[in-house]
Structure 1
Amino acid sequence: MIKVKDLHKSFSGEEILKGLNTSFHAGKTNLIIGQSGAGKTVFLKCLLGLFEPTSGSIEYNKVAYASLNNKQKRDLRKEMGMVFQGSALFDSMNVAENVMFPLIMFTKQSKAAMKKRVDEVLERVDLIGVDHKSPAEISGGMQKRVAIARAIVNKPKYLFCDEPNSGLDPKTAILIDNLIQEITREYNITTVINTHDMNSVLEIGENIVFLKDGHLEWQGNKDEIYQSENDALTNFVYSSELFQKVRKAQLQGL
């Protein structure tokens, strides 16, 4: 679990995050949504420890990040997995080498043990038989699954995903959403997803944090979106063509 208390972040006197209070729970897909400039990326980087908050605190399983020494912060980062927007695979490495990279960096396992773990996670994301291929030899959807395998290979407690469906067709995006949700539940990971994809919101939004101008404007789940009377959320969501289609189908079914 991650708990955020009165989080502020400023750059050169400009306040980007303005007193956020929220929680992200283990075993659930926690989504951060909002318009461009709402503060989503800055918030995600604060959660990752890449940005130091101007004030406020972030707690990981009831331990404040600011209270940790440098070694403890490095140890915490070892418990974090990250799926980047563009997958961020190393072109000079094959699939297996990409997935093994965190194990080489952060563990002292034997080569045999690392290979076994790589095989396990590749099987989990349904990528058996592509371990010797380069990223350029596989599809965008497969590259994303490699990125997910790499993110979970070190058995993280926390999984962060930045626009995981970027560049994917709708069908593949749904498969990636479902895979992330399944892994989150299976391993009881605290998963935080920064997304603009309303399909993800409506499919796997178990805990949704909606930011507007650096404030926490609304929080709830995918079902509560339809009952929300928050004008900012309604305007944001209804701007989505997908939401309009879903809502129309629901009304026709009444």
Structure 2
Amino acid sequence: MIEVKDLHKSFGDAHILKGISTSFDTGKTNLIIGQSGSGKTVFLKCLLGLYDFEQGEITYDGKVLSKMSVDEKRLLRAEIGMVFQGSALFDSMTIAENIMFPLQMFTKQSKSEMEDRVNIVLNRVNLTDAHNKMPSEASGGMQKRVAIARAIVNNPRYLFCDEPNSGLDPKTAIVIDNLIREITEEFQITTVINSHDMNSVMEIGEKIVFLKDGFKEWEGSKDTIFKTDNEAVTNFVYSSELFKKVRRMYIEENE
């Protein structure tokens, strides 16, 4: 579990995060949503330890991030998997080499042990014959699956995903959403996803934190988001006619 208490972050005179408190549960897909400028990316980078913050506390399974030594932070980093927006694969490396990279950085495994682990995670994301391909030879959906394989190759306790469906068609996006959810449950990872995709929210949003202007405006789940009367949430969620129709149908079915 990751817990956040009264988190504040500023850049000069710009107060970006304004007292956010929440928690992200183990074995669940936790989503951070909100409009552009709401503070989602800054929040994610604070969680990852990439930004210092002026006030508040972030704890990883009871260990306070700001009080960790350099060695403790290094150990924590080895327990974190990251799926970047755009996948961020190394163009000069094969898919297998991309996935092996975290093992070379954070472990002392032998070459054969690393190769075995690469085989396991490639099989898990249904890319059994992709070892020697270059990223440029892979589709957008395949690159995302490679990025997920790389993120989980170290058996992480925590998985962060920044807009994992960015640039994908709706069908492929659903495949990626379901893969992240399955891996989260299977390996009991604390997964945090930064997203603006309402399809992802409704597909895998077990815990949803909605930010607006740096505040935590609302939190709940995909099952409760239809019930909220919070105007900021409803304006965001039902900005499309499709979701307005879905909400009307939900209300009618539950009257």
Residue equivalent to 1:72: 72
1:215 and 2:235 are equivalent in the alignment: no
CA contact 1:198–1:240 (8 Å) conserved in 2? no
Q: Secondary structure at the match of 1:239?
A: coil
CA contact 1:165–1:176 (8 Å) conserved in 2? yes
Residue equivalent to 2:233: 233
Could you list the per-position Cα deviations for residues 192-246 of structure 1 after superposition, in whole angstroms to 9, with x for gaps in the alignment?
0000000000110000000010000000000101110111111111113442243
Q: Secondary structure at the match of 2:225?
A: helix
What pairs up with 1:1-254 in 2 under 5 angstroms? Answer: 1-250=1-250
One-letter amino acid matched to 2:121? V
Q: Secondary structure at the match of 1:130?
A: coil
Residues 56 and 154 of structure 1, relative CA distance in 2, 3 Å threshold: same
Q: 1:176, 1:68 → 2: CA distance?
A: 33
CA contact 2:81–2:156 (8 Å) conserved in 1? yes
Could you list the per-position Cα deviations for residues 122-169 of structure 1 after superposition, in whole angstroms to 9, with x for gaps in the alignment?
000000101100011111100000000000000100000000000000
Q: How well do the aligned residues superpose, as a CA RMSD in angstroms?
A: 1.2
Q: Which runs of 5+ in 1 are unaligned?
A: none
Q: Secondary structure at the match of 1:51?
A: coil
Q: CA deviation at 1:13?
A: 2.2
Q: 2:121, 2:208 → 1: CA distance?
A: 28
TM-score (norm 2): 0.97
Q: Secondary structure at the match of 1:50?
A: coil
CA contact 2:226–2:250 (8 Å) conserved in 1? no
Q: 2:35, 2:115 → 1: CA distance?
A: 42
Q: Which runs of 5+ in 2 are unaligned?
A: none
CA contact 1:199–1:242 (8 Å) conserved in 2? no
Residues 128 and 87 of structure 1, relative CA distance in 2, 3 Å threshold: same
- What is the aligned residue count? 254
CA contact 1:140–1:168 (8 Å) conserved in 2? yes
Q: CA deviation at 1:65?
A: 0.4
Q: CA deviation at 1:53?
A: 1.2
- Aligned identity (percent) is 68
Could you list the per-position Cα deviations for residues 77-135 of structure 1 after superposition, in whole angstroms to 9, with x for gaps in the alignment?
11100000100001100100000000001111000000000000000000010110001
Q: CA deviation at 1:14?
A: 1.3
